[in-house]
Structure 1
Amino acid sequence: MQDELVLFRKMQEGDWSAFNSFFESYSEQLYLYALGFVGDRAEAEDIVQDTFIYLWVNRAKISHSGSLYAYLSRSVKNSCIDRKLHAEVERRYQREMMASGEESSEDSENFEELYERLQIVMDSLPPKCKEIFILGCIEGLSYKDVSEQLGVSVNTVKTQVKVAYKKIKSEFGDRDKNFMLILCNSFFKEEAGQ
């Protein structure tokens, strides 16, 4: 642990060999970790590469006192969740637009704008709340299944869903409520009592 901190400080000062040492030590484990989430080799490689690029570019700003592998694996996990969320929301949005006959070239731009707003809301959620949202909304798990998977009570899941629902509803309101319904129709219907 002490050696890792010394190496980390060297990397922060711009020592490429220290950075390379971290890459060689952790990249394969992180790749396998990402692959387990996304199931696609190229995407897993991209996620790990992006994580290390972020580490190098932001090395001076990162305050580190624990295990660097733990920090990197959290970053990889968050990237996997964000990519999965984006892909699923985009798929649902496109399917809904096609079903309604409203698909146009503007829809792609509109989706990206809406998704950026969603990402801001998601980033403002507490980590456990975000995880519950992803499992319930994106993975389609029930309250009970989410509670069992995370080892929390069903009431905790319901409370966290209410937090997410209120934040998303306040961001998207009536003007973009169709996006919110497309995003998470069945999960939020349970919460909204519809």
Structure 2
Amino acid sequence: MWPMQNELTLFRKMQEGDWYAFNYFFESYSERLYLYALGFVGNRAEAEDIVQDTFIYLWVNRAKITHTGSLYSYLSQSVKHACIDWKLHEEVERKYRQEIMTSGEETEEKTDNFEELYGRLQVVMDSLPPKCKEIFILGCVEGLSYKEVAEQLGVSVNTVKTQVKVAYKKIKSEFGNTDKNFMLILCNSFFKR
């Protein structure tokens, strides 16, 4: 289709609204991105949705995206972040529901309240610096220890502890006293390291 043109030229054409250039990227990368997402989330439908949402975002925001490197790298980072967000949602929801059932306070109102609380958590997470968010996610979603996070990211254990404190402080300022149960679930689950 576009065998001799380089990726940057195609990217610029896509930014100008060239559907064929966009389709080239979709055809070239969607299967690899799907397999990457599937390996991360372990759910076929969710992996498909994540990749589809990534390409929809690419098309809708094409004029705003500044791209200088490999588009596949950009897309795989987008898919990775979406997978992390999905895993965070699943883990927080699982722990929240488990806590509600254990406490005997399971009501429709508390169950419905989760999405609102999670939305607020997502806003806090999105406001964190990228490295801080990554450290928090590795610790809370992946369940890695401070030492394991430090080794994986090539930083010191003290850096990990500092970044977790930054995340914790922001979360606490958002949830504070008004949503103590949700805050306790987050703290008890994610900061026992």
TM, length-normalised to structure 2: 0.92
Q: What is the CA distance between 1:109 and its match in structure 2?
A: 2.5
Q: Paired residue for 2:20, among 17, 21, 27?
A: 17
Identity %: 83
Q: Identify which range, 82-91 or 3-12, moves more after superposition.
A: 3-12
Q: Structure 1 counterpart of 2:36, which letter?
A: Y
Q: CA RMSD in A?
A: 1.6
1:151 is aligned with what amino acid? G
Structure 1 CA distance for aligned equivalents of residues 111 and 64 of structure 2: 35
Aligned residues of 1:38 and 1:44 also touching (Cα < 8 A) = yes
Answering whether residue 73 of structure 2 is matched by residue 70 of structure 1, we say: yes
- Deviation of 1:108 (Å): 2.7
Q: Select 1:81's aligned residue among 84, 91, 103.
A: 84
Q: Report SS of the residue matched to 1:119.
A: helix
Whole-angstrom CA distance in 2 between matches of 1:86 and 1:180: 15
- 2:47 and 2:96 mapped to 1: Cα distance? 24
Structure-2 separation of matches of 1:141 and 1:27? 30
Distance in 2, Cα, partners of 1:83 & 1:37: 10
Give me the TM-score of the superposition, normalised by structure 1: 0.92
Matches within 5 A, 1:111-190: 111-190=114-193
Give unmatched runs, 5+ long, in structure 2: none
How far the C-alpha of 1:62 sits from its partner, in A, is 1.6
Matched, 1:92 2:99: no
Residues 186 and 58 (structure 1), Cα distance of their counterparts in 2 relative to 1, 3 Å cut: closer
Opposite residue 51 of structure 1, the aligned amino acid is T
* Separation (CA, whole Å) in 2 of partners of 1:76 and 1:169: 28
Please give the per-residue CA displacement for 1:70-102, whole angstroms capped at 9, x wherever unaligned.
111110000000000001101110111111111
Q: In the TM superposition, what is the alpha-carbon distance from 1:171 to its structure 2 partner? A: 0.8
In structure 1, stretches of 5+ residues that fail to align are: none
The count of residues paired between Structure 1 and Structure 2 equals 190
SS in 1 for 2:62: coil
